[in-house]
Structure 1
């Protein structure tokens, strides 16, 4: 079976979700192609086909359009079918020609499945699968289901009518899709993120929670939805309570300046460090010396970093945003705190820090065992093979 995945760009070195999926499908005997809007020659896990670029220079765009037109001539029947479907759906002819250009590479594909890795990527491409006699799948993730539709009401109405199968990474995101019009009769499969147990696997039987200061860690892009400011406000309360801690944040992003100012304004310059981007191995090394992991996001599809932290034996405190409350079992493998309540987060942090080391290790061991049992790459690969079969 030929399965085509559509992403904005090839998976990066740390994006194990897509890379393990591709490997699992290939190992099962399937052909996998990757269609991208931005190519990266370093990615060699499967065949990569760049989508046509839109050029600002009108002369370059003219010649690029001519090239696309000539390239589509052997596929004229598909193009005509696509035009008819688009016009029947009420799109203007000018829009249709634009979408033919954007989707030209896929229109030439012999794939039996088109799987859009994010729901937003399927917009403007809803009729391509039917035009090439393929089935269409789409994945539900945090931003495209929980946030994007807030600004673009009804954006997925056409997609829901045409999609053959939906992949969700959490029950909460699926509920969001139902609330946005997805029929409960649609075929759906839940396949959560997974991690490499070979890399994120602590050799220590028990984590040492006695060392001071308490080391707290967060991994994530410096972006508003990650709730970093709320975490800083909670930590400022801990500082007033004379609790000795160090807080490190791994990641970069557009909110960096605001976060740096908040650190200064809250008087946390000596306690908080922004470490920038780190490799998976460097993340593991920092997790090995940390005690608590925080992910107090406003919105979060699931979060691989929380799985990695649990596998490394950290005590995990997360918000109740989307998939996080499935990632952690509250009161058993970690703690789930309602979002946007820094004082409640501070209270939870303080109570966790004050726990007896025996109880801390019980939480740590339960979390490690659950991740090892339910969130391995091998399980994820098998579920994706089943998804297409």
Structure 2
């Protein structure tokens, strides 16, 4: 079986779960061709991502002129299909959050993708995220390309489903993947009941580098780590304010913010304003190996997210036997059990976050070890990469043999 994967940006530090999924499929004998819009010149910290970059074809690498030529070639060979796809692209631009010329660029990207796909016997194409990547594969199908599916992660798709025309993308897809039961429920909201059967839950899989690590006891050091892009939805600014409350209670602690992003200047400014330079430290982007080391050196992972799908770093922390402090948001409570594998608190509540941090810092290490063991058992049962890849492989095999979408 030969399928194609299409991602807006690949490889990417925060998209390592896609790499794991592809490699697990290939280990099952599925041939996977990688395609992406961009990512050929990004800074990478993982050697595995460097390898993936060498295997990926990039639509924008040769500029817009190459896309325009691809469009000319498709018009010459498939004028009716091109006209149909152009109408679809303009329809998808209606009420969208991006102007109509960009949707015509997506059409040209689809033309280039179609030309590349025609050079190999690809039976199906799968996209990650229900944003422009899903639109490009939808347009590729309208041009006469293979049937498609896509994985919805959230929270962007859940925040603006109408602007993204999520209903239309799902209706014409062979199937749609949600990464949690919560995600599936959000897709049901926008999908006609007759198409509910298309929605499948396939969890993100764990990297074996995390769950094959020998047990390391929770350290006595009062250290917490937050891993993720520094942005509004992850809530790190709230974490800094909660840290100030913990400091005011006279509790010794250290918080490591492992990651980078658009809100780093504001977060650093807040650290300085609150006099937390000795307690809160930002590392910038780090490799998967460094993430693993940071989690093992901490008493727990803290992630005060406002909006999520289901963060992969929570799975990684639990696999490493570390408790998790996070919010009652999206798919998080499906994995983190309050009082059993960590602490859950209401999103946006700085007092509740500070109390959870204080409780974790005060807990005996033996209690934290027990939480970590319970978390490991839970995450390995739900997020084994080979088990989840087997689900996807079965879906691809079924749909590649099927007729037109239902």
Bin for the TM-score computed over the shorter chain: 0.7 to 0.9
Aligned to 1:163: 173
User: Are 1:191 and 2:202 matched, yes or no?
Assistant: yes
Q: 1:157 to 1:9 in 2, by over 3 A?
A: same
Aligned to 1:139: 151
User: Are 1:101 and 2:112 matched, yes or no?
Assistant: no
User: Are 1:172 and 2:179 matched, yes or no?
Assistant: no
CA contact (8 A) 1:200 1:284 kept: no
Aligned to 1:280: 288
Of the structure 1 ranges 140-149 and 303-312, higher mean CA displacement relative to structure 2 is found in: 140-149
**2:67 and 2:316 mapped to 1: Cα distance?**
45
User: Are 1:83 and 2:91 matched, yes or no?
Assistant: no
CA contact (8 A) 1:160 1:182 kept: no
CA contact (8 A) 2:3 2:32 kept: yes
CA contact (8 A) 1:218 1:250 kept: yes
Tell me how far 1:168 sits from its aligned partner: 0.9
**1:154 and 1:287 mapped to 2: Cα distance?**
36
Query: Which of 270, 273, 276 in structure 2 is aligned with 1:268?
Result: 276
Q: 1:231 to 1:72 in 2, by over 3 A?
A: same
**2:67 and 2:365 mapped to 1: Cα distance?**
66
CA contact (8 A) 2:307 2:330 kept: yes
Aligned to 1:37: 37
CA contact (8 A) 1:192 1:380 kept: yes
User: Are 1:68 and 2:70 matched, yes or no?
Assistant: yes
Question: What's the secondary structure of 1:104's corresponding residue?
Answer: helix
**2:350 and 2:241 mapped to 1: Cα distance?**
6
Tell me how far 1:125 sits from its aligned partner: 4.8
Give the total of aligned pairs.
376
Tell me how far 1:103 sits from its aligned partner: 1.0
Question: What's the secondary structure of 1:37's corresponding residue?
Answer: strand
Tell me how far 1:145 sits from its aligned partner: 1.5
Tell me how far 1:255 sits from its aligned partner: 0.4
Aligned to 1:299: 307
CA contact (8 A) 1:195 1:376 kept: yes
TM-score (structure 2 length as normaliser): 0.83
The one-character-per-residue Cα deviations of 1:127-149 (angstroms, maximum 9, x if unpaired) are 42244352210111124323344
Counting helix residues as a fraction of each chain, which structure ranks higher?
Answer: 2
TM-score (structure 1 length as normaliser): 0.86
CA contact (8 A) 2:229 2:259 kept: yes
The one-character-per-residue Cα deviations of 1:90-147 (angstroms, maximum 9, x if unpaired) are 749x978655422112222242212111110223552422443522101111243233
Question: What's the secondary structure of 1:126's corresponding residue?
Answer: helix
Query: Which of 234, 248, 256 in structure 2 is aligned with 1:240?
Result: 248
* Unpaired segments ≥5 residues, structure 2: 42-49, 93-99, 398-406
Of the structure 1 ranges 11-20 and 188-197, higher mean CA displacement relative to structure 2 is found in: 11-20
CA contact (8 A) 2:110 2:139 kept: no
CA contact (8 A) 2:322 2:368 kept: no
CA contact (8 A) 2:202 2:391 kept: yes
**2:192 and 2:360 mapped to 1: Cα distance?**
40
Aligned to 1:341: 349
**2:281 and 2:24 mapped to 1: Cα distance?**
38
**1:299 and 1:82 mapped to 2: Cα distance?**
38
**1:119 and 1:137 mapped to 2: Cα distance?**
10
Tell me how far 1:251 sits from its aligned partner: 0.6
Aligned 1:117-136 pairs, distance under 5 A: 117-120=128-131, 121-123=133-135, 125-132=137-144, 134-136=146-148
Aligned 1:247-258 pairs, distance under 5 A: 247-258=255-266
The one-character-per-residue Cα deviations of 1:298-336 (angstroms, maximum 9, x if unpaired) are 111111111111122222111122122223122221222
**1:13 and 1:153 mapped to 2: Cα distance?**
27
The one-character-per-residue Cα deviations of 1:331-357 (angstroms, maximum 9, x if unpaired) are 221222110001011122223333344
Q: For the aligned residues, what is the CA RMSD?
A: 2.9
Q: 1:374 to 1:124 in 2, by over 3 A?
A: closer
Aligned to 1:358: 366
Question: What's the secondary structure of 1:273's corresponding residue?
Answer: strand
